[in-house]
């Protein structure tokens, strides 16, 4: 049977690539060290497949069709479409159709209704972490897109339930695969709105603390505070999926630092197996 070998979370942001030279040296070193440590933990778990939980930044979906949750079931995923991601070393990343379709079918059996895509572009939200963590060779990637870009969004409680569902589905997949969950997004940031550039450090630190408290406390906090902490902060939903997959316990912060040069409160974490 397959097994969940780890859950991990990281921030992302275009300016981590486009404006990297503008990041002060000390913060560059901390960000690089955090990505390295995260990569070390992911590699140490020896995953055959990574379920990458991230938003779609208008790379695959438009107003015509906006799924709340979409699982990529294709043999291959396309590399990032953003021109400034041209140095990312993969134009194609293998998927795992068997596991992906099992996730979908298991979810449907349990009252979830994911959308399905047989060909997804993996934008910077997934590829910056994969790149900066230095994962080579690249494991297969099953993308799980959770909408946090264009309202309405899935509830935080639903994201937690999705995490639990993913873990349950992994444990019932017949092939002996090692599977990791990697959440990408958050912490606080604000994009294209009047508060753009703001980082809500107090929100971020409280959010981090709540991942180590009980689930009710985490959900109560996020349901109340997420809508006030900047639109990009909505991506914390992906961390909640990872938290649910990990059984809501074992959260361990690797590092947190607000980085004004990339306009993101950058957090890195894993959950102890």
Chain residues that interact with other proteins, rule: CB under 8 A: 57-59, 62-63, 81-83, 149-150, 191-194, 196-197, 231, 263
Q: Torsion angle of alpha carbons 242, 75, 14, 194, nearest 10°?
A: -70
**Choice between 121 and 225, CB closer to other proteins:** 121
**Choice between 24 and 62, CB closer to other proteins:** 62
**Choice between 132 and 189, CB closer to other proteins:** 189
Q: Give the CA count within 13 Å in the CB-facing half-sphere of 99.
A: 28
Cβ contact 50:92 at 8 Å:
no
The 10 Å Cβ neighbour count of residue 200 is: 21
Cα separation of 261 and 23, whole Å?
5
**Choice between 3 and 195, CB closer to other proteins:** 195
Smallest gap from Cβ 74 to other proteins, in A, equals: 21
Smallest gap from Cβ 42 to other proteins, in A, equals: 27
Q: Torsion angle of alpha carbons 62, 20, 11, 206, nearest 10°?
A: -120
Smallest gap from Cβ 70 to other proteins, in A, equals: 17
Smallest gap from Cβ 154 to other proteins, in A, equals: 17
**Choice between 5 and 17, CB closer to other proteins:** 17
Smallest gap from Cβ 189 to other proteins, in A, equals: 11
Smallest gap from Cβ 58 to other proteins, in A, equals: 6
**Choice between 29 and 58, CB closer to other proteins:** 58
Q: Give the CA count within 13 Å in the CB-facing half-sphere of 205.
A: 5
**Choice between 81 and 134, CB closer to other proteins:** 81
Smallest gap from Cβ 204 to other proteins, in A, equals: 20
The 10 Å Cβ neighbour count of residue 231 is: 19
- Closest among 5, 4, 9, 3 to 243, alpha carbons compared: 9
Helix (H/G/I), strand (E/B), else coil: 271: strand
Tokens of 27: 């913060």
Smallest gap from Cβ 134 to other proteins, in A, equals: 28
Q: Strand 251-259's sheet: what is its strand order?
A: 115-117, 69-72, 140-146, 49-54, 178-184, 3-10, 264-271, 251-259
**Choice between 68 and 106, CB closer to other proteins:** 68
Phi and psi of 7, rounded to 5°? -130, 140
CA distance between the termini of the chain: 17
């Amino acid at each position: 049977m397959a097994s969940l070998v780890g859950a991990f979370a990281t921030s992302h942001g275009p300016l981590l690539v486009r404006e990297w030279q503008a990041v002060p040296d000390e913060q560059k070193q901390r960000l690089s060290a955090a990505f390295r440590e995260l990569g070390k933990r992911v590699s140490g778990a020896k995953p055959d497949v990574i379920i990458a939980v991230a938003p779609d930044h208008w790379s695959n979906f438009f107003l015509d069709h906006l799924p709340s949750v979409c699982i990529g079931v294709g043999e291959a995923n396309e590399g990032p479409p953003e021109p400034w991601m041209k140095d990312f070393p993969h134009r194609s990343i293998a998927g795992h159709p068997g596991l992906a379709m099992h996730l979908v079918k298991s979810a449907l059996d349990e009252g979830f209704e994911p959308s399905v895509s047989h060909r997804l572009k993996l934008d910077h939200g997934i590829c910056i972490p994969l790149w900066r963590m230095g994962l080579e060779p690249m494991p297969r990637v099953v993308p799980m897109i959770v909408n946090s870009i264009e309202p309405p969004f899935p509830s935080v409680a639903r994201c937690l339930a999705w995490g639990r569902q993913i873990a349950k589905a992994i444990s019932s997949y017949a092939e002996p695969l090692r599977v990791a969950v990697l959440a990408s997004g958050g912490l606080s940031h604000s994009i294209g709105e009047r508060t753009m550039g703001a980082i809500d450090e107090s929100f971020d630190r409280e959010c981090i603390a709540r991942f180590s408290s009980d689930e009710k406390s985490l959900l109560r906090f996020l349901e109340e505070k997420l809508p006030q902490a900047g639109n990009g902060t909505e991506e914390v939903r992906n961390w909640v999926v990872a938290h649910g997959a990990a059984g809501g316990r074992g959260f361990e912060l690797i590092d947190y630092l607000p980085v004004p040069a990339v306009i993101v409160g950058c957090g890195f974490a894993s959950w102890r197996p």
